[in-house]
Amino acid sequence: MKHCHILIICNELIFLKQKLNFLYKNFDQIIFIDYDILNNCNSKDGSLEYIENFNDTENKIVLIKFNSNDLNNIKSFNGVSMIEKRKMFAKGSIYVNDDIDIIWATDMDEFFDKKLINIVENEYINDIDLVTINIPHYIFVYNQFNIFSGENLDDTTYVCPPRITKHFKNKIYGHCNFETYGKTIKCNKEFIYHFAWVGFERIKFKNLIYKKKNNIKGLNFTRKYSALLNKKKKIINICHPNKNVKMKSIQYNKKYPDYINIEEMINELNKI
């Protein structure tokens, strides 16, 4: 089977250094759509240069520098969440190769093992009606030793929308709506390792976006995160910045994908 990965990105250099080699080895096409929603510009941290200078000997990589003209010109789009992200997915959809079988759409801060790719292929082979696969997430907060959980970890690990779906030629893919495309299953044979709430500067940026777009205020979360860093805490107690999610941190002491230099990545992310 042939796999395409669509990623919307913004200042992702730290994650690119950890993830791009893995994606390149295991995917037949990689589509990056770069745009800073808050500042209406493209990445400034070296992400674009890193992708452009990557040794793309097999011509797998498509890099789209999204801009305000794209926002105005794209009329056909779908999905949920911010309209900018929905239009970014619509733009990326145009570039998917016709011979692709499976679309992936993990974020740059979401990692997985090669084992998951094999599991996904087997699920599609064994069920010709299957369209979308939902994989549970470990959602990390602060560092590699803490994840968010509700009262029942088995329930809250599926809090993120599905990232994997069957490819249909000429389809305009939406942001976070893969479960609407057809038969969807929850597959708990592997996890996605999601470092959503790790990195002090990232947290500040996220909270600014969510405050602007969704009126979710995360100021107290940012202050507590900063205080914990200053105290050099390892295991923490913190609640999700979106009170509607009703999740709090618990200790994590399991494995990570072996291609990640986990200490290097976390240290870079939490550098103030």
260: number of Cβ within 10 Å: 18
Q: How confident is the model at residue 154 (pLDDT cuts 50, 70, 90)?
A: low
Q: How confident is the model at residue 152 (pLDDT cuts 50, 70, 90)?
A: low
**What average pLDDT does range 148-165 have in this prediction?**
79
**What average pLDDT does range 54-76 have in this prediction?**
97
Kindly tell me if the per-residue pLDDT of 262 is higher than 70. Answer: yes
Nearest alpha-carbon partner for 13 in 96, 134, 109, 92: 109
Do 253 and 145 touch, CB atoms closer than 8 A? yes
Q: Which CATH number describes the domain made up of 3-134+161-190? A: 3.90.550
Q: CA-CA distances (angstroms) from residue 149 to 1, 219, 269?
A: 34, 21, 22
Kindly tell me if the per-residue pLDDT of 151 is higher than 80. Answer: no
Where do the structural domains in the chain lie, given as residue ranges?
A: 3-134+161-190
Percent of the chain with pLDDT over 70: 94
**What average pLDDT does range 107-120 have in this prediction?**
98
Residue 109 to residue 157: CA distance in whole angstroms:
16
**pTM of the complete model:** 0.94
**What average pLDDT does range 83-100 have in this prediction?**
97
Percent of the chain with pLDDT over 90: 82
Contacting residues for 25 by C-beta, under 8 A, at least 6 apart? none
| pLDDT of 191 | 94
| pLDDT of 207 | 77
**Tokens 């990689």 -> residue:** 30
